[in-house]
Every structure is written in C-alpha cells, then in structure tokens.
Structure 1
Amino acid sequence: MTAERKRNRGPSAGPENRRALIAAARVVFAEDGYRAPLSRIAKRAGVGQGSLYRHFPDRKSLALAVFDENLTELELVVADQARTLDDLLGRVIEQTVEHSALLEFAMLERDDREVGGMDERFRAIVDVAVQHEQATGRLAAGVTTADVTLSVSLIAALVSRSPADERRDLALRSWRLLQTGLGSR
C-alpha cells in the first residue's frame, strides 16, 4: 500500500493555508487549551507543519492572529451606529466562552508588547461603544471605558475557570448583574 502524497500547490496556497490554520487553531485551542500541540493544528488545517511555521513561527504568533480576527469582528460591531454596548459585549462574551484558552495565553504573555497592543486595541473598541452609549443616554455618564473593560475582565476570569458547559450561562448572568452597576439600559 502506498501513501498518497498531497500535491504541493506552492505559494498560491498561502492565504488559504493561513486562514485554515487560524480556523483550526480556534477549534484546537478551544478543545485542548492554549498549550495544545501545534502539530494537531496543522493536521486539522490540512497542511504540513512547515506551512504552519512559515505563517506562524511560534505559538504566540498564531494566538495573536486569532485575537486579531476577534478584534476585527468587534471593530465591525462598534462601527455600526445601530449596535449597542450590549451587542458588543454579547459578542465579547461569545468570544470569551468560545476561546477561553486564549485568556490563558493573554495572562501568560501579559507583559509582551504585542499582547499589550491587542489590549490597547480592545480598550479603543470599548471606548467607541461607551461614548456612543453615553451620547444616546443608554449608559450612565460617570461610567468609563476602564469600568467596562474591568467588567469584561471579571467575566473573562470567571469564564476561564469554569467548566465548559457552564461558561455561557455564567457569563450572561454576570453581565446582567454588571449592567445594573454600570447603569446600562
């Protein structure tokens, strides 16, 4: 029996492979945590480990790519003026529940400059939502971006330490409680 070799499609496969690797990382990190074998991510993406390392030289760069996509999604939410802080935080909660392993990464690498840049980008996204909500009267005037990001951090900490089947419910219950304190309507 001969093993069937995959045809090398060359550089033209690069963007597709990158997307497949990020999608696979989302699933594998969610299933096995941040320290999951990178070989498992490559296999799930249908690419060789060489391709994985060409796109992402280390685990951190792969996790940052997943975070980047998450933040891009959140930027699209706040760009839509019809969306509310609840819409944004609903999506943040979903991302937190789906990708709690990446919270482990963020904690392990919190002093890293690139991870810090993601944190700054998240605060900027929240700031847009807070300003919009205050302008429309749906958020108490004294609530700051720091208050909202602290609330998200509290929820993320709870979710990351909870059993997978309880995460969504705990996150939603926590957000409802925090809404009262933030004066969100």
Structure 2
Amino acid sequence: MTEHPIPAERRPANEGRKAAARNRAALIAAARDICAEQGLEAPLSAIARRAGVGQGVLYRHFPDRAAVVTAVLEENVRQIEQAAAAEDADLARVLGVLTWHLAESAAFIGILHADAAGGHSGIPAYAEALSERVERALRRHLPDGHRLAAEADDLMIAVAMVSGAVTGPDRVRREHRALAAWRLLGAEVGPVRPAGG
C-alpha cells in the first residue's frame, strides 16, 4: 500500500508551545483538585489521568512530586500575599483568605505543618519557604500587643492549631471548624473567601 502525503491544508497544526502550556495548566488544575482531596501524597498517576495526559507529559513539566506541589500551592500563597498587600487589608481580612484556603485544600494545610512534612521527598524545604511567606503576609498586619504577637512563634502556632482543626466531610464543615478555632483563640476573621472574591 502506497502512502500519499496529506496536503498541507488538511494536516493538523503542530501546536507545540500552545499544547505544552495547555497541558501544564491542565496538570496544575488537576493537581490542585487531587491534592485538595487527598493531600500532598496524592498519586501522580491520578493527577495525570485527571488532566487527560500521560505520565510522561506530567514528568516533562514537573520532574518530581515537589515540583507539582510547588506549582499547586504557589497560587494559594500568592492569594494570601495579594490579600495582605491590598489597600484595605487588615489582619481579619487576611485571616479570612487564609481560612478559605485552609477549608479548600488538604495540601495547603500540609505546608503549614512543614515540620511534620519531614517524610516527603523534596517537599519540606519548599513547604517551609511557603509557610514563611504566609507568616510574613500575616505579620504585616499583626498589631503590636495583639494576643497572637505575645511570643515570636505564637502567630504560626495559632495557624497550625487552626489548620489542625480543619476537618470534616465537606467545605462548609471545615470552614465552620476553622472559624470556631479562630474564635477560641480570640482572633477576629473577616469574610472567608479567596483574594479578590
């Protein structure tokens, strides 16, 4: 059988960079969903399946689990930083955005327990860096004399305590528990929503 070349006008276009960008975006969205449901140890194969690509494509964009987690959690931290940088920002508003992310994502809770992440290959250093960025964003609006500023570690201990309380079968229950924990700590929390939401 003789193969005839396909005329140029009927050949599918090689999308190259467009396809790569689309695949990366799909992988990050899938990883965000899977990690929100299952935490930082979610199977990479499940992420590739959810994104509709093979594992080879996943590894082309993200060489290891740490790279996937970094890409997913970067947006969470960026939103908290964005909330802290807003003109009308105060501690309550930033805590509202932080609480929204805590209720949304098991993976995000994991970075706020960077010390407990010791067993995750390659994740702890980045988890610690992300946690430090969250702390800086919150500390910008922590008034002198605030009860969460009594000792140097009090703020992040409070965040870890609240994140530890964020359990439940659905987002509403997790948010309720987070707000109850903040209330018990005597911290005012603004509207629970993503930055800009």
TM-score by length of 1: 0.77
Change (3 A) 1:49 1:155: same
Amino acid corresponding to residue 117 of structure 2 in structure 1: L
Distance between the aligned counterparts of 1:177 and 1:38, measured in 2? 38
Q: Which has the higher mean CA deviation after the structures are superposed, 33-42 or 83-92?
A: 33-42
Amino acid corresponding to residue 80 of structure 1 in structure 2: A
The aligned runs of 1:110-125 (5 Å cut-off) are: 112-125=124-137
| CA RMSD, 1 decimal | 2.8
Distance between the aligned counterparts of 1:92 and 1:8, measured in 2? 42
Q: Identity over aligned residues, as a percent?
A: 36
The aligned runs of 1:1-185 (5 Å cut-off) are: 9-104=15-110, 106=114, 107-109=116-118, 112-130=124-142, 134=143, 140-141=145-146, 143-144=148-149, 146-159=153-166, 162-165=167-170, 166-178=173-185, 180=186
Gaps of 5+ in 1: 1-5
Amino acid corresponding to residue 95 of structure 2 in structure 1: L
What is the deviation of 1:79?
0.8
Amino acid corresponding to residue 176 of structure 2 in structure 1: D
Contact 1:140 1:183 in 2 (8 A): no
- Say which SS state the counterpart of residue 53 (structure 2) adopts: coil
Distance between the aligned counterparts of 1:142 and 1:170, measured in 2? 21
Change (3 A) 1:7 1:59: farther
Distance between the aligned counterparts of 1:25 and 1:146, measured in 2? 31
What is the deviation of 1:40?
1.7
What is the deviation of 1:143?
4.2
Gaps of 5+ in 2: 1-11, 191-197
Amino acid corresponding to residue 149 of structure 1 in structure 2: M
Contact 2:44 2:65 in 1 (8 A): yes
TM-score by length of 2: 0.73
Contact 1:71 1:121 in 2 (8 A): yes
Contact 1:74 1:88 in 2 (8 A): yes
Change (3 A) 1:48 1:93: same
Change (3 A) 1:143 1:39: closer
